[in-house]
Every structure is written in C-alpha cells, then in structure tokens.
Amino acid sequence: MTIKEQVKVLWKQCFHDTDEFIDFYFQKRYTDELNSYAEADGRVIAALQRIPYALTYEGMEMLVAYISGACTDPAYRNQGTMRRLLAEAHRRMYREGVMFSTLIPAEEWLKGYYARSGYANCFSQTKKLLTAPSLPVDNFSESLKMVEIPPESTLCGDAFRFFDHFQSSQEAYIQHDWEDFHIILTDLQLSGGSLWGAFQEGVLSGLCFCFPEEKTLKVTEQLAVGKEVEQAMLEYLLSHYHAVQAECLGREGENSYELGMARIIHVEAMLRLLAGRHSSNLYIKVEGDEAIPENNGWHNVENGHYFRGRQEGKTYRILSIERLTCLLFDGKHPYMNLMLN
C-alpha cells in the first residue's frame, strides 16, 4: 500500500468518522507533502497532517499550520511515538517559515499532553442556545430572501467575497481561502446542512453555516450586516429545519470555553516582525524547546530592532515556549472556526 493508503487505514482505525467524510478528506485535504508519519515493522503506525492557513496578526498575515488527523496505532501508544512525530513536524514547520502551529484537542486530557510539546490554550469559542420564542417578532424578515448556497452554486463567489471581507478585517483570526471555503461547503453538505444567504433587495446581507441534528439547528458560523438580519435568518432556518432551538457558535459573548491551542514555531522571525511595529522594548530568555533548540536563548527587542545575546544590566523574563505563546496572544482573543477535523 502507498503511504496515503496506510494513513487512511490508520485514520479509520483511530477515528469514528463516516466513510464519506474520510474519502472526502483524503481526496480534498490530504497530500503526502503535508503528511508526517512514523513507521515500525514495515508499516505506518502514526501520522498527522500539517494543513497550511494564514492568521491575521497586527495588520499582517502569518503562515500557520493546523495539525489534523494526529493518530497512533493502539498497539504502539504510550511509547512516545506521537511526541517524536510532533517534534519532527515542528522542525519541518520551522524550515518552511511557519510562525505558529495550531490544533484542536479531540479530548480534554489531550490539552495536558500537547502542553508538554509547547502548546498553550489560546483559542476560545462561545456557544449560545436560542429558541424561536426568544427571537424578536417583527416584519423585518419579510424583506429578506433566504437562498440555499450549495458548493456548485453560482452564488458561491459572492458568498466567499462577503465571508472574506469579514474574516480579513478580524484580528488574530484564522483565514479560509477560496479553496478551503469550497471544502467547508462540501463538508457541510455531507453533514446534511448547507450555507444559507440572506438577500435584501438583491444584495447579500448575511450568511449562515448550519446543519440539523435531531431537533437542534447547529449554527457553526453566522455573519450578518446587523442584528435584525441575524435574527431574521435564525427565525427562518428554525422553521425550515423544524428545529426547536439553535445552538450558535461564535467569537464573542458569554459562556466562552477553550477550543484550540497554539505553539510559536519561529521565535526570532516573530520578534523581528514585532520589533519593526512596536516602540516598547522586550528582553526574554527562552528555555526548554527541545524540538527547536534554535528558539532557546537570549532575545532582545530594543528601539525597533531585534538582536540575540545577553546584555549586561538588562532584566530578562525567562519563558517556556508555552508561556511565550500566551504572551504573544495576550489580549488578542484569537479565533478559529470551520476547521476540518
């Protein structure tokens, strides 16, 4: 079997996804170039994929890698295989100019596991439940035309431009390009859901990514030009799917919970970028990065310039890779959504 075929077999062994989704993932997302794997006894026993994305950060777009499909054959677990594979993947990201690695732990206990490889809890998400009676009733919805937008629709271009205008304006936000947008729509379709557009006098005014699950409408993302459009869309979709409530995911609001983790990959490159954008000085010593030892050592951001080495008379903050990642995202509330995982 090819490496791709072996990784696919391993995926089926480790995850509980449908054959439809697995076939789709390996057709649209997987490539050997993005795959990292470990072998034993002549076969693949562990694998992960490094999916490239862009992240907005202080007016810049930075290359990040999203770890997908990290899995180990049950017979080879608890032997450090995935830890070594992650380190190898981080080294490769470093060579490729990736600034951050990101991931979404499949289970709560994995947060501690990934923290040992330098990951920090950075990405959060909110979840709110809405029922039809909780939505204001007015005549506004009568001026909206709701249109389903499947992946093959001619409206996809307009929908992506609306979506991209929003995402590109957000700080610390994982970006989805046109190809990924189309993949998102196809994945949504496999879940029995769809993308819906709200039009006012022929102008696209809102988008809603959603799928039904029993009597609940799962809203994975909703964008609208105003609260009235957002509420009118939900009112229509609850009725359309015969749902009693909508579970809406988002970036802002109450009931926030930890979703994803991040790890700085290239400390020097990141600090060089920040040096040219900040007037404040920063003196840090990075310790404990076993995967990328080039990150360890004394780092100085001073008067708009970056350089390495310890300066006498300066007070340095001693940071692990995990703590430095937290510092770089402090106050930014980074966000990722619509990830294929």
Domains along the sequence of the chain with CATH: 3-121 (3.40.630.30), 127-250 (3.40.630.30), 266-329 (no CATH)
Check pLDDT > 60 for residue 140. Answer: no
Q: Which region among 32-46, 129-143, 252-266, 311-325 has the lowest average model confidence (pLDDT)?
A: 129-143
Instruction: Report residue 131's pLDDT band, with 50, 70 and 90 as the boundaries.
Output: confident
94 vs 264: CA distance, rounded Å: 10
**DSSP string for residues in 123-172:** EEEEEEEEEGGGSPP-SGGGGEEEEEE-TT-TTHHHHHHHHHHHHTTSTT
- DSSP-derived letter for residue 23 is H
User: For residue 18, what pLDDT is reported?
Assistant: 93
Task: Check: CB of residue 129 under 8 Å from CB of residue 190.
Answer: no
For the residues 163-180, what does the mean pLDDT come to?
A: 97
Instruction: Tell me the whole-structure pTM to 2 decimals.
Output: 0.93
For the residues 24-40, what does the mean pLDDT come to?
A: 96
Instruction: Report residue 143's pLDDT band, with 50, 70 and 90 as the boundaries.
Output: confident
For the residues 173-177, what does the mean pLDDT come to?
A: 97
Instruction: Report residue 152's pLDDT band, with 50, 70 and 90 as the boundaries.
Output: very high
For the residues 39-64, what does the mean pLDDT come to?
A: 96
Check pLDDT > 70 for residue 139. Answer: no
List of residues 6+ apart from 82 with CB closer than 8 A: 46, 48, 70, 72
- Which stretches of the chain are assigned E, i.e. beta strand? 35-40, 43-57, 60-72, 100-103, 120-131, 144-149, 174-175, 194-200, 203-213, 216-224, 245-250, 256-264, 282-286, 297-302, 305-308, 317-319
311-322, pLDDT tens digit by residue? Answer: 999 999 999 999
User: For residue 124, what pLDDT is reported?
Assistant: 94
29 vs 36: CA distance, rounded Å: 14
Instruction: Report residue 220's pLDDT band, with 50, 70 and 90 as the boundaries.
Output: very high
Check pLDDT > 80 for residue 141. Answer: no
Mean pLDDT of the chain: 94
User: For residue 135, what pLDDT is reported?
Assistant: 63
For the residues 216-241, what does the mean pLDDT come to?
A: 94
User: For residue 132, what pLDDT is reported?
Assistant: 72
**Torsion angle of alpha carbons 223, 226, 334, 98, nearest 10°?**
50
190 vs 258: CA distance, rounded Å: 26
142 vs 122: CA distance, rounded Å: 41
For the residues 227-245, what does the mean pLDDT come to?
A: 93
User: For residue 133, what pLDDT is reported?
Assistant: 67
User: For residue 215, what pLDDT is reported?
Assistant: 93
- What 3-state DSSP class applies to 81? helix
User: For residue 254, what pLDDT is reported?
Assistant: 73
Instruction: Report residue 46's pLDDT band, with 50, 70 and 90 as the boundaries.
Output: very high
